[in-house]
Amino acid sequence: MKIKAAVCREAGALAIEEVELAEPKMGEILVKMVASGVCHTDAAARNLFIPAILPMVLGHEGVGIVESVGEGVTELAPGDKVIISFPYCGECDYCREGHPYACEDSFHLFFHGKYKDGTTRITGADGTEIGSLFGQGSFATYAVCDASSAVKVDVSVDELKALCSLGCGIQTGAGAVLNRMAPRPGTSLVVFGCGAVGIAAIMAGKIAGCSTIIGVDIVPSRLELALECGATHVINGKDFDDVPAEIRRICGGKGAHFALEASGVPALGLQMLDSMRREGLAVIVSVMGDQRMNVLIENQIMSPSVTLAGIVEGGSNPKVFIPELVRYYKEGRLPVEKLAKYFKFEDFEQAFEASHDGSVIKPILLF
Ligand SMILES: NC(=O)c1ccc[n+]([C@@H]2O[C@H](COP(=O)([O-])OP(=O)(O)OC[C@H]3O[C@@H](n4cnc5c(N)ncnc54)[C@H](O)[C@@H]3O)[C@@H](O)[C@H]2O)c1
Ligand SMILES: [Zn+2]
Ligand SMILES: [Zn+2]
């Protein structure tokens, strides 16, 4: 079928083209897109900060309505509302153990544009094969994805629009806290970078009952939103020479039990390590490209018995975790609508710019 899709053919460029989308194959579904979030990772792929293989339809936070299903799909049917999350092979040891975020094939399935069978689903007007980011390519009027990535949800179409980033950014931040850290009530959490991922972590810290939740950023409007979403304290990095000292002061002189790096700035990763309480758990979810973090292992990790961990997609099993997040949303405990600003599909450049300049936390394209 003919669809409209935003195709990246060279680094930095993105343009809407009319392209041909194949029918869903075995185990796949065709989704009529309702909305798609714009994640920082779309910008990273567009700029080849991540080595994506072009040409590619970007977008990986799609929500929509199932139009048709391929052979063998029984858990989804036409008319179902779905949130599309990340792809995974389903067959490696990690997938079989219920840890699809750690799938051996994830880098390939996320960034090389191909589906599990090694082929693409989109053909350009000039006959070129076009890949789909995250086996999804949600910046398009329709997309094909694997049924294992799509989660059926019982919400209105308006709610569905606000929930697109549950598929990636919100799941990443909330999952890092609820799945990886699993903080006990009364513990402290510090979050570096109050974008969609960081704010989701702050909301999750509140859900988990953390009694001290500190948001660090340099954009005042993001710090205000962090306070609205559950932070008990915020720190503007521009106002302090020694951010870790301020964090330790807030945390009763000892430092934080848990911390998340969601800014993508290596220097903040190091500040995070200096902010930890002994035996603390520091988690990195941000993309830092080929930049390095110059960790002083003995002082920052070994001697204080600190754990430094990384995790993809919040350590989530989307079929289990996304329904849990939708439940929190319905209870008013995950107010993701506060992060959203809507743009028409054709205004995607404005959406990217609004994310880049910090004025909008979660730009959402509507189809
Ligand atoms: N691990 C995963 O599976 C996964 C999934 C989604 C996103 N990500 C990554 O997570 C990161 C966060 O994503 P996002 O969508 O929230 O991005 P974002 O750009 O909206 O958020 C980053 C925040 O960091 C802040 N920041 C930048 N420099 C700073 C500094 N020097 N001091 C303090 N704050 C600073 C920015 O103001 C911004 O609020 C990105 O790197 C993204 O690529 C990872
Ligand atoms: Zn796998
Ligand atoms: Zn993402």
CATH number for the segment(s) 2-152+335-366? 3.90.180.10
> Per-residue pLDDT for 289 more than 90?
no
pLDDT tens for 142-164 read 999 999 999 999 999 999 999 99
Measured from the CB, is residue 263 less than 6 Å from ligand 1?
A: yes
Determine the Cα–Cα distance for residues 274 and 151; give it in Å rounded to an integer.
39
pLDDT tens for 215-234 read 999 999 999 999 999 999 99
pLDDT tens for 12-59 read 999 999 999 999 999 999 999 999 999 989 999 999 988 999 999 999
- Per-residue H/E/C for 122-134: EECCCCCEEEEHH
Domain coordinates of the chain in residue numbers? 2-152+335-366, 173-311
Q: What is the pTM of this model?
A: 0.96
Measured from the CB, is residue 69 less than 6 Å from ligand 1?
A: no
338: left (phi over 0), alpha (psi -120 to 50) or beta: alpha
Q: Report the nearest-CA residue for atom 10 of ligand 1.
A: 286
Pocket test for ligand 1, best of 179, 199, 203, 217 (most atoms within 8 A of CB): 217
The whole-number pLDDT of residue 295 equals 97
The ligand with the least distance to the CA atom of 193 is 1
CATH class, 173-311 region? alpha beta
Measured from the CB, is residue 200 less than 6 Å from ligand 1?
A: no
Whole-number Å distance, alpha carbon 271 to ligand 1 midpoint, is 15
Type of residue at 186: G
Determine the Cα–Cα distance for residues 201 and 173; give it in Å rounded to an integer.
4
Whole-number Å distance, alpha carbon 90 to ligand 2 midpoint, is 5
Determine the Cα–Cα distance for residues 314 and 287; give it in Å rounded to an integer.
13
Q: Report the nearest-CA residue for atom 28 of ligand 1.
A: 263
The values of phi and psi at residue 165, to 5°, are -75, 0
Share of residues in the chain with pLDDT > 90 (%): 97
